[in-house]
Chain A
C-alpha cells in the first residue's frame, strides 16, 4: 500500500483541502503548519459551530464553503467547549452531503472508550496529541492515494454504510498489515474496509456488529 501510494502520488496535482478544528490557538497554528508542509490547503476554525458554518451545514452558505473549495479531510480536536469533536463528527456523518468526508479526531487524552466511540461513529482515526508530522503526512498521503485509486476499483464497500443495512461480506476479509496505515476515501463515493491490528490510536474491531 505504501509503495503503491508513492508511485501514484508523484503524478498528483491534487492539493487536499483540509478543515482543521481546534479551540486552542497554539494547536491551530501547529496543525496548520503540519498540513501546509504536507502540501495541503488549510482552513483552520476554532469551533464545531464554525466548522459547520464553513461547510454550510448550519443552513447558511452552499455546501462547498464560502471560498468554493471542497473539503477533503476534517481534523478536529475532541475536547472543545460548546460542541465537542465527537458531536461534530456525528453531525458530519449524519449528513448525506458530508458523510463521505473522512474525519480524524485529535485528543491529548488516550482514553480507550473515547477512541472506541469515535471510531464507532465513523472517525477514520484517532490521533493522540501532540500530533506528529509523520501522522499528518501519512493521513494526507492516504487521502490522495485513495482519491486516485477509487475510480479503478469496483465493488468496494463504504464502511460507513455498515451503519445502514447494506452490510456486505467484504468485512470478512481483514488484512493484517504490519503498518498502521489506514486508507479512506476523500470525497468519493466508496472506500475500502481495511482493519489494522489493535493499536491504541487506530481503528480496532467491531465492524462485525450488525
Chain B
C-alpha cells in the first residue's frame, strides 16, 4: 500500500504543478470528473484526439504561412479551431498562444504569425509530454492495485 500511496501523492503533486504552471485549467479537471467506469479511458481518448487535431492544424497553418501570398483567413480558421479544441480540453497555454495568434492573423502580420506558430508547436509538445507523464502515473497506480485519486 505504501507504493500506491507514494504514486498517488506523486500523481496529485504532478497534477497540481501542471495547473500551477498554467498547462491545464479547470476544464481539464471537469473532463477528469466525467470519466467513470463506463468510460475509464475518457480523458486519454480526448487527449489523443486533441493531439491529432493539433498536429493537423499546425501543419495547415505552416503550409498556409509558407505561401507567397499568405491567406490569413485560412490561417485564422485553423487557429480558431485549435483555440476551440484547446479550450475544450483545458490546454490553457496552447489556448493563450492561439489568442495572440489570431491578432496577428487579423493584422496580417506574417512574422508575428510565424512566431506564434513556433510557440504553439512548442506548447503543444510540452503539454503532450506532460500529459503522457500524468497518464503514465495513472497507469502505475492502477497496476499497483490502487485507484487514481480524484482531483478536487
- Count chain A residues whose beta carbon lies closer than 8 angstroms to a beta carbon of B: 18
In the complex, which residues of chain A have a beta carbon less than 8 angstroms from the beta carbon of B33?
133
User: Cβ of A29 and Cβ of B34 under 8 Å apart?
Assistant: no
Shortest C-beta distance, B64 to chain A (Å), equals 15
User: Cβ of B34 and Cβ of A26 under 8 Å apart?
Assistant: no
Per DSSP, chain B at the interface is: helix
User: Cβ of A26 and Cβ of B80 under 8 Å apart?
Assistant: no
Instruction: A33 to B83: give the CA distance in the assembly, Å.
Output: 21
User: Cβ of A30 and Cβ of B46 under 8 Å apart?
Assistant: yes
Shortest C-beta distance, B34 to chain A (Å), equals 5
In the complex, which residues of chain B have a beta carbon less than 8 angstroms from the beta carbon of A30?
31, 34, 46, 88
Shortest C-beta distance, A83 to chain B (Å), equals 15
Q: Which of B38, B83, B87, B88 contacts A36 (CB 8 A)?
A: B38
Instruction: A23 to B87: give the CA distance in the assembly, Å.
Output: 15
User: Cβ of B30 and Cβ of A108 under 8 Å apart?
Assistant: no
CB contacts under 8 Å to A, within B11-45, are 27, 30-31, 33-34, 36, 38-39, 42, 45
State whether the Cβ of A27 lies closer than 8 Å to any Cβ in chain B: yes
User: Cβ of B84 and Cβ of A25 under 8 Å apart?
Assistant: no
Say whether, besides A29-B45, A29-B46, A108-B83, A24 and B34 are in contact (CB < 8 Å): no
User: Cβ of B88 and Cβ of A130 under 8 Å apart?
Assistant: yes
State whether the Cβ of B85 lies closer than 8 Å to any Cβ in chain A: yes
State whether the Cβ of B49 lies closer than 8 Å to any Cβ in chain A: yes
Shortest C-beta distance, B112 to chain A (Å), equals 21
Instruction: A24 to B52: give the CA distance in the assembly, Å.
Output: 11
Q: Which of B39, B49, B80 contacts A25 (CB 8 A)?
A: B49
Nearest CB to that of A79 among chain B residues? Answer: B80
In the complex, which residues of chain A have a beta carbon less than 8 angstroms from the beta carbon of B89?
26
In the complex, which residues of chain B have a beta carbon less than 8 angstroms from the beta carbon of A79?
80, 84
State whether the Cβ of A19 lies closer than 8 Å to any Cβ in chain B: no
Encoded as 1 (CB less than 8 Å from any B CB) or 0, chain A from 54 to 89 comes to 000000000000000000000000010100000000
Nearest CB to that of B56 among chain A residues? Answer: A25
